[in-house]
């Protein structure tokens, strides 16, 4: 392939601790060539078993697609050397047996039969951002700041379908989780841990996640106060981040974003008070976003 040729099809793979989800993406139309494939993965298994499961997911998607992609993008949780394709995950009770492994070469050896030999890697939160820009709710936006809100806070900065990971407009690597906010960092301020902790402070009752608090919103003043605080604080943090990136589009994903309507009024109110015009969008592709985003690395 010459440098002027464009790749039409690419496999997208979302690597999880319990399964790998794969699909072939039509990069020209931003659509899937066939339904995604899900293959179970034992993250405590040896390297051979893990790699075989990943390769099998890619292989099945290629066969199902009816086309012949030669490349695959993989969305990985960190820590991971995304440039070289080497896993740095260790000590978190998953994928310990592939620490230091050259994932690209290992998969290339296993996928010669289907002709997939070019691999690229991306952080899973960044893949979410790229995916929604390719085939999701912000596909027409030129610049997007994406935040995934869940057990932690992931982020992605996208300009014209390309990740922005360095420069004055973004934090290092495009990651916001470690930035200071209030008396701690962003990862603590907007994660499930904050919601559980704050609800316990307000009520003395323990909950296990945001959904439990959201389910009590109608009858529980503490739940309403919590989500009001969450929206207010999120706007206070996100506003300067958007301004620094010269962007007016905020994309939210992750489990907490499913409760967006509960904190939307406070978020919008704070943006208005600060004189910011921000379009807020909630993930449309949901769990499929990372598939689109990983494949879009070949645009």
pLDDT tens, position by position, 270-288: 999 999 999 999 999 999 9
Lowest-pLDDT choice from 2-16, 45-59, 104-118, 184-198: 2-16
pLDDT-derived band at 1, boundaries 50, 70, 90: very low
pLDDT at 198: 98
Residues 269 and 223 in one domain: yes
Residues 276 and 144 in one domain: yes
Residues 248 and 145 in one domain: yes
Question: Of 91 and 295, which is predicted with more confidence?
Answer: 295
Q: What percent of the chain has pLDDT over 70?
A: 98
pLDDT-derived band at 224, boundaries 50, 70, 90: very high
Does some domain include residue 55? yes
pLDDT at 77: 84
265 close to 227: Cβ distance less than 8 angstroms: no
Residues 120 and 167 in one domain: no
| pLDDT average, residue stretch 154-158 | 96
Residues 146 and 268 in one domain: yes
Q: Tell me: the pLDDT tens digits for 92-129?
A: 878 989 999 999 999 999 999 999 999 999 999 999 99
pLDDT at 3: 42
Count of positions (residues) in the chain = 299
Q: What percent of the chain has pLDDT over 90?
A: 94
Domain extent for 237: 140-282
pLDDT at 91: 83
pLDDT at 5: 62
Q: How many CB atoms lie within 10 A of CB 256?
A: 29
Residues 151 and 85 in one domain: no
Residues 116 and 238 in one domain: no
In the predicted model, is pLDDT for residue 2 greater than 60? no
pLDDT-derived band at 4, boundaries 50, 70, 90: very low
Q: In whole angstroms, what is the distance from residue 191 CA to residue 188 CA?
A: 6
Q: In whole angstroms, what is the distance from residue 258 CA to residue 252 CA?
A: 9
In the predicted model, is pLDDT for residue 20 greater than 90? yes
Q: What total number of domains does the chain contain?
A: 2
Does some domain include residue 1? no
The CATH number of the domain holding residue 245 is 3.30.420.40
Residues 187 and 261 in one domain: yes
297 close to 129: Cβ distance less than 8 angstroms: no
Q: In whole angstroms, what is the distance from residue 64 CA to residue 24 CA?
A: 9
116 close to 11: Cβ distance less than 8 angstroms: yes
Q: How many CB atoms lie within 10 A of CB 229?
A: 16
């Amino acid at each position: 392939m010459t440098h002027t040729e464009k790749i039409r099809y690419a496999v997208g793979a979302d690597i999880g601790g319990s399964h790998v989800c794969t699909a072939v993406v039509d990069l020209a139309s931003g659509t899937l060539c066939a339904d995604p494939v899900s293959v179970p993965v034992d993250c405590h298994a040896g390297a051979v078993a893990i790699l075989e499961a990943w390769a099998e997911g890619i292989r099945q998607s290629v066969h199902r697609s009816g086309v012949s992609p030669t490349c695959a993008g993989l969305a990985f949780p960190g820590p991971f050397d995304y440039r070289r394709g080497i896993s740095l995950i260790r000590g978190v009770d998953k994928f310990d047996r592939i620490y230091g492994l050259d994932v690209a070469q290992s998969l290339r050896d296993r996928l010669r039969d289907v002709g997939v030999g070019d691999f690229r890697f991306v952080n899973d939160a960044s893949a979410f951002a790229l995916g929604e820009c390719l085939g999701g709710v912000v596909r027409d936006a030129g610049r997007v700041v994406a935040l995934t809100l869940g057990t932690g806070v992931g982020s992605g900065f996208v300009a014209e379908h390309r990740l922005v990971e360095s420069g004055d407009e973004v934090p290092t690597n495009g990651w916001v989780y470690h930035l200071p906010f209030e008396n701690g960092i962003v990862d603590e301020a907007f994660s499930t841990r904050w919601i559980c902790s704050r609800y316990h402070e307000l009520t003395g009752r323990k909950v296990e996640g945001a959904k439990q608090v959201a389910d009590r919103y109608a009858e529980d003043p503490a739940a309403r106060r919590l989500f009001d605080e969450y929206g207010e604080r999120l706007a206070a943090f996100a506003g300067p981040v958007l301004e620094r990136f010269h962007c007016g589009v905020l994309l939210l994903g992750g489990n907490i974003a499913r409760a967006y309507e509960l904190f939307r009024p406070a978020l919008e109110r704070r943006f208005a008070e600060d004189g910011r015009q921000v379009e807020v969008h909630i993930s449309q592709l949901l769990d499929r976003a990372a598939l689109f985003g990983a494949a879009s690395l070949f645009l």
